[in-house]
Amino acid sequence: MSNQSAGRPARPAKPRTPRSPEAQQRQRDILHIAMDTFGARGYNNASLAEIADRAGLTQAGVLHYFRSKALLLTSVLELRDQTDIEQLGPDRPRGLEFLRHLIDTALRNAEREGIVRLYAVLSAESVTENHPAQDYFRERYSGLRSFVTDALREACDLPAEAADKAENAANAIIAVMDGLQVQWLLAPDSVDMAASTEFVVTSLLTALAPEKFGPPAGT
């Protein structure tokens, strides 16, 4: 389906590929500055002028590397994803191992405030009309929902007819993790994202498969 349909803007082109090591480093510097700026102000309120000024460039200099503000945003989101992929490793874990990975991710997120803020701000902002990250977050949630649903079904040995229950539980886990990030950004000393995520995952596993994850009989 064309990205022009339903009033959506066309997907921007890829960034330029710098040849010299100096230009490659300059492009990386712009990305990290943009990540901080978008995370602090959102896409709509962040300006290319501010990003360029922090990078020691003109706006034309930034656009030489990224062609447009929308492309800069998608490049920042790809950088964020690359960080997650590197931490996940070459193979995606399955079942209980994947659910444990979600808890570990919540623990790591407490050490990377900038990435958490970027995700929280842009995911909320993406619901606005024609936001350039809307397709990105729609696809991300769809993929994550599928991964978590599969992990719950595998961990609980659920039959195919219980798919709806697993998907509802997956939606709850994702919602809890995203909501915890917002609470943690506002009051980091009052919110333990990993502990709360583990509590919810454990509770849902018990609800989906009490014979496997519930307390032993007679206790």
Instruction: Give me the sign of the Cα torsion angle 15, 17, 23, 28.
Output: positive
Are 98 and 50 within 8 A, CB to CB?
A: no
In sequence order, what are the residues at sequence separation of 6 or more whose Cβ sits closer than 8 angstroms to the Cβ of residue 90? none
pLDDT at position 4: 30
Task: Give the whole-angstrom CA distance, residue 177 versus residue 120.
Answer: 11
Q: How far, in Å, CA of 52 to CA of 74, rounded?
A: 17
Provide the CA 11 distance to its chain's centre, in angstroms.
Answer: 19
Q: Rounded to two decimals, what is the model's pTM?
A: 0.80
Domain ranges of the chain: 16-73, 92-211
| pLDDT at residue number 10 | 41
pLDDT in tens, 120-178: 999 999 999 999 999 999 999 999 999 999 999 999 999 988 889 999 999 999 999 99
Residue 74 has pLDDT above 70, yes or no: yes
Q: Of 132, 141, 150, 139, give the one whose Cα is nearest residue 177.
A: 141
Q: What is the pLDDT of residues 46-63, one digit of tens each?
A: 999 999 999 999 999 999
Geometric angle at alpha carbon 94, from 88 and 100, rounded to 5°? 65
| pLDDT computed for residue 110 by the predictor | 93
Strand, coil or helix: what is 92? coil
What pLDDT, on a 0 to 100 scale, did the predictor assign at position 2?
26
CATH topology of domain 16-73: Arc Repressor Mutant, subunit A (1.10.10)
Q: What pLDDT was estimated at residue 151?
A: 96
Is residue 86 pLDDT above 90, yes or no?
A: no
Cα distance between residue 214 and residue 61, in whole Å: 59
